[in-house]
Amino acid sequence: MFVIPRALISFRCINKFTVLQSLNGLRSVFLVESKSTITSIDYSINSSVARSNWLITKLSKEGRICQARQLFDKMPEGDKDVITWIAVIPAYIRLGLIEEARKLFDRVDSSKNVAWTAMLNGYMRSNRIVDAERLFEKMPVKNVVSWNTMVDGYVHNGMVNKAFDVFDEMPDRNVVSWNTMVTAFVQCGRVEDARALFDKMAKRDVIVDSDGCRVGKEWKG
């Protein structure tokens, strides 16, 4: 089911990407705690990896990255799973500490696709487009999420034509792919391109996301 915001239908673009960009502006309220220490966590055989992951995730989401990293470093390397890595890497990215995120990323098992996608998103959100492109080229497996991350990243940086080039190359697309590209065209005033792309969609049921009411199956221009 394709979701188009009411604002998009009236050619104003207040959508989930706008909201995400606004939320990104809040990252300055997070504090990096450089002097905090945690020494009471037991990582012995009786300790729960799940609980450790929960604590690391909680601290990371609170912006307490130094505490989260201390717990992360205390965990035996063999106990770290994809949840552990993904709790810390995006936290560094949210704080703008891209190099620290990359150092951790370089230690992750290359088969963990979600870590690659997190790093791609970090580079794109930091306007490090070349770094994102290089990383994308090296990805052992590219899934629809990683492709969508590149498309959205180009849109975020105002490179709509490049976003469409990548969209056009995608072997598979989902609702996020279509929504990102159609919205991008409308945002920059390319309504006819948006309409043409909309007409190519395999499924054209439309929902207005503000109140959930059905709009219909045709373009509402």
pLDDT tens for the 221 residues of the chain, in order: 444 444 443 333 334 333 333 334 333 322 233 333 344 444 443 457 888 889 999 998 898 999 999 999 999 888 888 889 989 999 999 899 999 999 999 998 877 788 999 999 999 999 999 999 999 999 999 999 999 999 999 999 999 999 999 999 999 999 999 999 999 999 999 999 999 999 888 654 444 343 333 333 445 45
Which pTM value belongs to this model? 0.69
- For residue 154, the Cα-to-chain-centroid distance in whole angstroms is 13
Task: List, as own/partner pairs, every contact residues 165-170 make where C-beta atoms lie below 8 angstroms and the sequence separation is at least 24, other chains included.
Answer: 170/144
Residue 2's DSSP bridge partners are 206
CA–CA separation, 50 vs 116, rounded Å?
A: 22
